[in-house]
Every structure is written in C-alpha cells, then in structure tokens.
Amino acid sequence: MPFSFLCYQPIDEDVSIDVLTPYAKNHYITFGSFNNLNKLSATTIRLWSEILQKTKGARLLMKSYRNAPDLLKEHLIAQFQSNGISYDRLIFSDSDDKRSDHLNRYNQVDICLDTFPYNGTTTTFEALWMGVPVVTLSGISHHSRVGESILTNMALPEMVARTAEQYVDKAVTLASDKALLQGFRQNGALRRRLLSSSLTDAGRFSLAFEAVLREAWVNYC
C-alpha cells in the first residue's frame, strides 16, 4: 500500500471538543491511555512513570473498554509506586455504556500515551478525533508500528519515537508546549487534519487495495 493499511470511518456521534485544554482548567497536565490495561508492560509503566516524574504535577488517567478488576488496579498501583509515582497521581476512569460518554472522556486528557510494544488503533483514532495528540513508540513488528502508521499519515511524524529515551522526551516536551496543545483543539484542528488525510479516504483506499490484490494475483499466475 502506498499509505496506511488502515481506513477509518469518521465517528458519527455528535461529541464536541472542549475549547480549553484540561491543563487550562486544572493547571496540571493530564496524560491518558484508553487502551486495554493488559497491554501495560513493566517497561511501559517505567517509562510512563519517568514521564510523570519529569512533568511537574502531572496525572495519568487510565480507562479501558471495561472496568478494571480491583486486583489489576492494585497490581498497577504497586508497579507505579515502585517507580516513584504516588497513588494520587493515578486516575482510573470507569467504562461508559454510551459511546458519546466514552468519547467525551477524552476532553479530560491533554496528551495520550500509546502502549508498546502493542500499540493502540481505535483508541489512537478516537484521541485524534477528539483533538488529543498521541505520542507513540515504534518497534519492528506490525503491532508495534500501528501508531507510526497513523501518525505519519496524519503528517505528525514528530509524535513518533524510535527509542525509549525519545518517547519520554517527546511526551515531556509536548507537555511543556501549552500553546501547541491548545492549537490542536482550536477549531477542531486535529479532527480536520484526520478528515483531510488518506486515513479517511475510503475511495482512495479501495483503489489502492484493489491494485495490490491485482498485483498479487498477476505475480501468482
């Protein structure tokens, strides 16, 4: 494929993007992850903890498609605490029955942190749709390069890290640029960028995919 292997259908829920960033209201940065909590490896927690340590007063909001069992929450809290992050900097958000309520939760987040080595897909699109930038760490396998595929085709390569150090630095640097975070929300800038990208162009995707299938068939024959 000449561009991403993904084709995203824009969300038809009428959920507006808050004009002000959470930082403007809370006076601290809120990082977020809406991925399955089972994707959180020890390395992921270590790097997220480092990001929180380097971003004064920052919180981390975690939300999954279903409520996390108490045992899992306790396990995650213990891992963060072992990395120097106190419980009061962690927010566990309950799941929502209505999709509109789920999407509205993104209005509580300044920056989403992608999981690795298993990246998010739907959650990354949701965040961008709701005006929230995503920082990803790219790897060598398919499931660790999904974030890069999405962000590159959104013309946001600066959100893609190649190393753990870059991942931390990019998240911390982005958190310090309050004007940029506000700009992503202004007039739905990120949402409009997504809508104008190849990621939502079903016609173009269909033609490209058809060409790939024809080429594969010709090579086979």
pTM to 2 decimals?
Answer: 0.90
pLDDT tens track for 30-54: 999 999 998 999 999 999 999 999 9
Token pair of 82, please?
């072992």
Q: How high is the mean pLDDT in each 10-residue block of the chain (221 residues)?
A: 73 88 97 94 96 98 81 92 97 85 95 95 95 94 87 94 98 98 94 88 72 78 78
Residue 125: the pLDDT is 95
* Ordered structural domains, the chain, with CATH: 22-220 (3.40.50.2000)
